[in-house]
Amino acid sequence: MKTPILAFTALLSLMASAAKYSVSSKPFGEVDGNPVELYTFTNESGASVSITNYGGTVTSLIVPDQHGKLGDVVLGFDTVAEYVEKSPYFGCITGRYANRIAKGKFKIDGKEYTVATNNEPNHLHGGLKGFDKKIWKARIGNRGNTPSLTLTYTSPDGEEGYPGALSTTVTYTWTQNNALRIRYKATTDKPTVLNLTNHSYFNLAGAGSKTVLDHNLQINADRYNPIDATSIPTGIAPVKGTPFDFNKSTRIGDRIEQKDEQLQNGIGYDHNYVLKDKRDEKLAVAAIVTEPDSGRVLTVSTTEPGIQFYSGNFLDGPKGKGGKEYPHRSALCLESQTFPDSPNQKTFPSPILRPGETYTQTTIYKLSTSK
Ligand code: BGC
């Protein structure tokens, strides 16, 4: 008798909690004559995430501060036309290879491939028309008890110079406790290189607020990748005794202006961190950001070996949602990833995906408050 009663109770609670979400979609304009949609997932507390299938882009993430007041904590635009025209990768899926490949060249099994040098002299974020600029096929589904958005895109063999037809699936889930879970999966029909991430720009005081220099950051890493003058890693070095040590939660502004060759004399942070204990590819906390005024906290967990901390160095005041300006350093990115330029760096984890293998990565951006 026990089993059927339990099953019935479970079913009831499943139905009840499923009803506590609202999922909606609406047209978000056109790209090259093709319609794109905007999907919004709102949980029981009223917190929501909006995602468009143009670039798989997270356009808003609306969560409470310590007084329960809702605010949007990611940078973005009101129209898809602005994303097409001027987005510095706001909120998008970045691929096929997020971050840089030196001089746009790499070899797999002795064969050389050339990709666009769209960030002279290097390749950046998948090239001229990367995954951030593609229209993804979208499907609303249900993962466990939680509604999800599954986006798929098949990148043809040779697209942007990368070998192999790549079938990619990205699933976004918005939980009742304000966690945005992103699961990536990909398979290929030829050996290829791959590095997928999400490029959300966060300001926990609210998008359009002043700089993130008063945000505190903690990163679970003892080592990072120093870079050359073109932002290509030169190896792996300890963070100890440098402005890159965020093992203890530290105000971002405290050391950003220090005379330090790696901070490129005032440009700021734009480096990959080698996360601790990542050999087993288990989900682990990579970074925690806190913002004192709002009391908001962002906890980033990932299965990836690295995370790029970018302090919004090149934001130059574009007008975003609601006409708000996004000045220099008014957001930060924490991009879970394999290490930059891995296709050319033998000491880094291999970014090669072969036929028969499945690439997977999971990253969770969880929003909460300290009080
Ligand atoms: C890179 C930065 C770049 C930014 C926007 C980050 O992932 O590391 O160098 O400016 O993306 O493209």
57, 86, 89, 133: residue to mutate for ligand 1 pocket, most atoms within 8 A of CB: 89
Euclidean distance between CA atoms 101 and 305, whole angstroms: 17
pLDDT above 90 covers a percentage of the chain that reads: 90
Distinct helix (H) and strand (E) counts, the chain: 3, 27
Reply yes or no on whether the pLDDT at 7 is more than 50.
Answer: no
Average pLDDT of the chain? 93
Q: What's the gap in Å between 310 CA and the centre of ligand 1?
A: 7
**pLDDT of res. 5:** 36
Mean pLDDT of 31-53: 97
Give the residue numbers marked as catalytic.
Answer: 199, 335
Ligand 1: does its nearest atom lie under 6 Å from the Cβ of 272?
A: no
Q: What's the gap in Å between 120 CA and the centre of ligand 1?
A: 13
DSSP labels, 104-154: GEEEETTEEEE---SBTTBEETTSTT-GGGSBPEEEEEEETTEEEEEEEEE
Whole-model pTM?
A: 0.94
pLDDT tens for 310-330 read 999 999 999 999 999 999 999
Mean pLDDT of 274-297: 91
CATH of the domain at 293: 2.70.98.10
Reply yes or no on whether the pLDDT at 64 is more than 50.
Answer: yes
Ligand 1: does its nearest atom lie under 6 Å from the Cβ of 90?
A: no
Ligand 1: does its nearest atom lie under 6 Å from the Cβ of 54?
A: no
List residues bridging with 35 in a β-sheet: 30
Token representation of residue 60: 């808003």
Q: Which residue owns the Cα nearest ligand 1 atom 5?
A: 88
CA dist 247 to 72, 241, 286, Å? Answer: 28, 11, 10
- Domains of the chain: total: 1
Q: What's the gap in Å between 31 CA and the centre of ligand 1?
A: 24
Ligand 1: does its nearest atom lie under 6 Å from the Cβ of 310?
A: yes
Give the domain range for residue 306: 5-369
